[in-house]
Amino acid sequence: MLNALSVRNIVLIDQLDLVLDGGMTVLTGETGAGKSILLDALTLALGGRGDASLVRNGNESGQVVAVLQLAEGHPARAVLRDNAIPDDEDIILRRVQYADGRTRAFINDQPVSATMLQRVGAQVVEIHGQHDDRALVDAATHRAALDVFGGLESQARTVQAAWETLVETMDAVAAQKRLVAEALAKEDYARHTVEELSALAPIASEEDELSARRQALMQIEKSAADVGETDELLNGPSAPGPALLSLMRRLARKIDGGATLFQPIVEGLDATLVALDTTSEALEALKREMAFDPMELEQVEERLFALRAAARKHQTSCDELSVVLARYEAELETLQNGEAHLVALESAAARATEIYKSAAQLLSTARAKAAIRLGTAVESELPDLKLGAARFIVDHQIDLDQVSATGFDKISFHVQTNPGTTAGPLLKVASGENCRASY
C-alpha cells in the first residue's frame, strides 16, 4: 500500500508530507484546491511523463517521493531483484523534475531509468481517471480481473505453462527443419564425395610413400640404358672375358714349356678375370634389383595424381582426405538422425498442442461461468448506486484458433446504463475518477 507521499516545489505546492494510514483514504476539496496536482505528483513519482511546467515558479527543480509497503511476494520486488536494486522493506520511488525539462529517477536511492521507474510504478499503483485509458477501463486488464474473481489464476498459469512449452517445441521444430533443409541441400554433394573418397580409400602418409616409390622407379627407368650398355660390354658378343681367358691359357702353356717370362702376365690376366667375374656378379645383382614391371610406375603415378587431385578439389592435403571423408560421412549420418529427430520433435509439438488446447478449453469454459457470476455480482451492487436499470456485461469472445499465453479468450467489460440503449465498452461509457493502490 501507499504509506506516504512527499512533494517539494511541484506547481503550487511548496512542501507537503502526506502520511496515509491503513484502510481507505479520501481527499476532498473544491475545484482548484490541488487534488489534481497531488495526482500529477504521484504520477510523476510512478514514472509518468515529466514536464518542466510541473516545477514551482522560481525553483530550479521539484521532487516527489512515494513510499510503499509491499507484500514479500509482490511482482515489483522480483523486478527490483532482477535489476540489482536493493529490495528493502519499504519501496521508495523518487523523481526529480528540473525546470529545463530533465528528470532523474531513483528507486531505493539507486539511480534508474524513467522506463524502469514506470515499470515498477505500474505494478504498485493504478490511476483510474475519467480520461485515463488504464486500469479498470483498460480492456487489457479485464481478463486478469475475471481470472482473479473466478479463482482461475492456477488454471491461467497452467495454460501459460502449456503455451510456453508449445512455443518452445514449435521453435525446436522450426530450427530442426532448417537444419534438415540445409543438410538436404548438401546431401547430393555429400553422397558424391563419400562415394568418391570411399573408392579412393586414402591412407595417411600414403602420398610420401608413393612419391618416394615414383622417384625410385623413375631413377631405375633412367638408369636402365646404362645398365644395358654395361651388360653388353661385359657379357655381349664383344665381351673381353673369353678372349682374355683364351690368352691366359695359351701363355700358361708356354710357361709350362719353360717360358717363365710370361708368369707376371698370366697372373695379371687371372686377376683381371676374377675382377670381371666380380663385376658381372654385381651387375646381375643390380639387374635383379632394378627389375620392375613397367606398369608399376604407371599405377603409382595414377594413384599419386588421383590423391593430389582430390586434395586440390577439397582444398586440403592428401593426409587430410580421410578427415574430409569422415566429415561428409558424419553429415549424411546427421541427416538421417536429423530427420528422425524432426519426426520426434513434431510428435512432441503435436502432444504439446493437444495439452495446450485442452488446458485452454477448460479455462475458457471456467471463464464463461465466472463471467456470468461476475455480471450478476456487479449488477447486485448497482441499485445502491442508483443504477438499478443499468447492466454490467462481461463480453467473452472465444477464438479456438488463437494460440497465446492467455488462452482462447478475449474479455472486455461492457455496460448498458439505460434500457433500450446499446451496451458499450466500459472505457467509453463509464465516468468518474479515483486512485487506488494495487497490492
**Long-range pairs for 155-162: beta carbons < 8 A, 24 or more residues apart:** 155/359, 155/362, 155/363, 155/366, 156/363, 156/406, 156/407, 158/359, 158/363, 159/356, 159/359, 159/360, 159/363, 159/405, 159/406, 159/407, 160/405, 160/406, 162/352, 162/355, 162/356, 162/359, 162/360
Q: For the chain, percent helix, then strand, then coil, each to nearest 5?
A: 60, 15, 25
Confidence band of 436 (pLDDT split at 50, 70, 90): very low
| Helix-helix angle 75-82:114-124, to 10 degrees | 160
Number of other CB atoms surrounding residue 400 within 10 Å: 10
Is the pLDDT higher at 22 or at 315? 315
Confidence band of 133 (pLDDT split at 50, 70, 90): very low
For 228-250, what is each residue's pLDDT tens digit? 777 677 777 878 888 888 888 88
- Is pLDDT of 174 > 50? yes
CATH class for the domain made up of 1-128 = alpha beta
Give the pLDDT of residue 128: 66
Residue 162 burial (10 A CB sphere; 0-12, 13-18, 19+): buried
Confidence band of 135 (pLDDT split at 50, 70, 90): low
Give the pLDDT of residue 433: 41
Give the pLDDT of residue 148: 92
For 190-243, what is each residue's pLDDT tens digit? 778 888 888 888 888 888 888 887 887 777 766 666 767 776 777 778 788 888
Going by C-beta distance under 8 Å and a sequence separation of 6 or more, which residues neighbour residue 314? 193, 321, 324
Phi, psi of 6 (to 5 degrees): -120, 125
Give the pLDDT of residue 136: 63
Distance CA 320, CA 332 (A): 19
For 287-296, what is each residue's pLDDT tens digit? 776 666 667 7
